[in-house]
Chains A and B, each alone.
Chain A
Amino acid sequence: MITQDEVKILKKDFKLLNVEEITVSFDGLKAVDSFSIDVSHREIVGLIGPNGAGKTTVFNVVTGFYKPTKGKIYLEGKDITGLEPYKINMTGVSRTFQNIRLFLSLTVYDNVRLGLASRKGERFSKLFSKKNRYYEEEIRSKTEEFLKIFDLYDDKDKISISLPYGKQRKLEIARALATEPKILLLDEPAAGMNEKETNELMELIKWIMDNFDISIILIEHDMKFIMNLCPRIVVLDYGKIIAEGTPEDIRNNKKVIEAYLGEA
């Protein structure tokens, strides 16, 4: 017998990522309130909103760092609600952090290598088998490929903490991308970058969109940046979606202007 719920699921039109009415409350305070978003294959969606609107909380829920109080999250039709973060990453969701979180004592090379290595669920016993050598070789060449794409190859033996800020951001994106995600969540990737770096990052994200089979959700405060990149933008305020649409719509939306500038 198929239950009512299962029929619902079967009838549902699944996109790459379906977030359905998730609510996150901290002691009664609703950080995110009935938030829904669908992301298709190879789509880039912008997520904006004033400070404290709950944008990062949405990321934390989708990547499993917080458990939603209510609601469901599906990746390619598979329910990933409440799974542990590492399992969610394995199914194909990868992220970067607002305050960069690199492995600071490791080299640039090792940071990217870790992204690739963790993708494969290899066993401890394999470490001592002969195949391991080919496996390591494969990871090595892929790592170098990634480093070249992100223009970090010359810095590969540097300890990651010694990199300038812009490159640390880039390295974090490279590491996230190395886990071969289906969807990438970028949390303020342009924060703290100068104009030149921001433009480079924009080109890089466009390049990633063209060359990887990947979707992106982007949180960003730099309006020029986000309006340039995202054909679809979702605006969040006090945990609720207040507007959704093209950059044109958003720019002229009264609610959005109110949220950012206060009521006139």
Chain B
Amino acid sequence: MIFLENILVNIGIMIILAVSLNFIVGITGILSLGHYAFFGIGGYSGLILSYYAHILGIVNYIPGFIVFFLIIIISGFIAGFFSFILSFPVLRLKGDYLAVATLGFNEVFKVLMENFEFVGGAKGYSLYIRLGNKEPLFSTNIVWVYIFVVFTLLFILKIMRSSYGLKFFAIRDDELASESIGIDISKYKTLSFVIGSTFAGFAGVLFVMYDRFYAIPKDLSFLEGILVLLMIVFGGLGSVLGSIIGAVSLTLLLQIIKIIPGVSSFQVLFYSVTLIFIMIFRPLGIGIKDFDLNKILNKVFKKEI
């Protein structure tokens, strides 16, 4: 059972990450390769905030689930804040240059975390040890994860389906034409980047506060981050349902690979081979035209226009 829950939690977190990255890359067309850095920022913030919540005794006055909820939200906003700051230099770039610049985020963040003693340096930040080998009073469970999965989906879909959100698609299709009809493209790009990164931050807290209670810079390498990109490319850029399918299938596949002895060390090889095969055979993703989440939602929310 614990094994099953573990997998479901992982899948949920990957869904949040994939859907939020899809919003930035697939819908707004900003090729960001640094999504995992905001996942990391959220994770570290979550751990540090949890630590102080315990040390300062906040948990003694306020119920744990409220404290935890606030911590998730604040950590997400911290990730969003950093993405806002970074958006100024980065979103001035276009295409490949932007991709290369964001590629640096992960590495810079990883190196910073390795060298800040405050957050435990290369050994990582263990909440469990810092609290004196005690488990924190609150932690992620499957309910928390899926509440946030639903929240993420509703939020992103709400934006996508409004005339407001249509502007993000417009920017992806043609920046010049977008400007010519009065869309402030830099504002909308920043907005997309910040929203996506905030959700990555939520995912980060949920991830570190599930079972392990530590974050380690080693986990934040670019290669781990590329997996999320792989998921959304696999599912088809711009498609929310595609991102979900990508997240579920690739997480499951990875779990299977991890179990098979002798194969687990080829994980990275698996990423590249999958990506190459997608690029050759289905460059637009697995393609789920006949089963469009938007259409279904259109039916469900018909009265909501």
A residues apposed to B, CB below 8 Å: 63, 65, 84-86, 89-90, 94-95, 97, 101-106, 110, 113-119, 122, 124, 127-128, 132-133, 135-137, 139-140, 175-176, 178-179
Contact = CB atoms under 8 A, between A and B. Distances in A.
A135 to B, nearest CB: 8
Contacts of A128: 158
Interface string B157-189: 011001111110110111011111111110000
A133 B163 contact: no
B169 A86 contact: no
B191 interface: yes
A136 B179 contact: no
Task: Find the residue from B173, B184, B305 having the highest chain A CB count within 10 A.
Answer: B173
Given A86-B184, A101-B174, A103-B173, A113 B163 contact: yes
Residue among B165, B174, B182, B185 with the highest chain A CB neighbour number at 10 A: B182
B290 interface: no
A97 B178 CA distance: 12
Contacts, number: 95
A140 B183 CA distance: 19
A38 B164 CA distance: 35
Contacts of A95: 180
Interface centre among A116, A117, A127, A136 (most CB of B within 10 A): A117
26 contacts: A63-B180, A65-B180, A85-B180, A86-B178, A86-B185, A94-B181, A97-B176, A97-B180, A101-B174, A101-B177, A102-B177, A103-B174, A103-B177, A103-B178, A104-B173, A106-B166, A106-B170, A110-B166, A117-B163, A118-B167, A118-B178, A119-B182, A127-B159, A133-B304, A136-B162, A176-B181
Contact of A105 (B169, B176, B304): B169
Chain B interface secondary structure, helix, strand, loop or mixed? helix
Given A106-B166, A113-B163, A136-B162, A84 B179 contact: yes
Interface string B120-162: 0000000000000000000000000000000000000011001
A110 B182 CA distance: 15
Interface of B: 158-159, 162-167, 169-170, 172-174, 176-185, 191, 238, 304-305
B180 A101 contact: yes
A118 B183 contact: yes
Nearest to A139: B163
B76 to A, nearest CB: 16
A113 to B, nearest CB: 6
A86 B174 contact: no
Given A94-B181, A105-B173, A135-B163, 17 more contacts: A85-B179, A90-B182, A101-B177, A101-B180, A102-B174, A103-B170, A103-B173, A106-B169, A106-B170, A106-B173, A115-B181, A117-B167, A118-B183, A127-B164, A128-B158, A132-B162, A137-B305
Contacts of A117: 163-164, 166-167
Contacts of A85: 179-180
Given A103-B170, A136-B305, A140-B305, A89 B158 contact: no
Contacts of B174: 101-104
Given A103-B177, A114-B181, A179-B181, A127 B158 contact: yes
Nearest to B161: A136
Contacts of B178: 86, 103, 118
Closest A-B pairs by Cβ, 7 of them: A117-B163, A89-B182, A101-B177, A103-B173, A85-B179, A118-B182, A118-B183
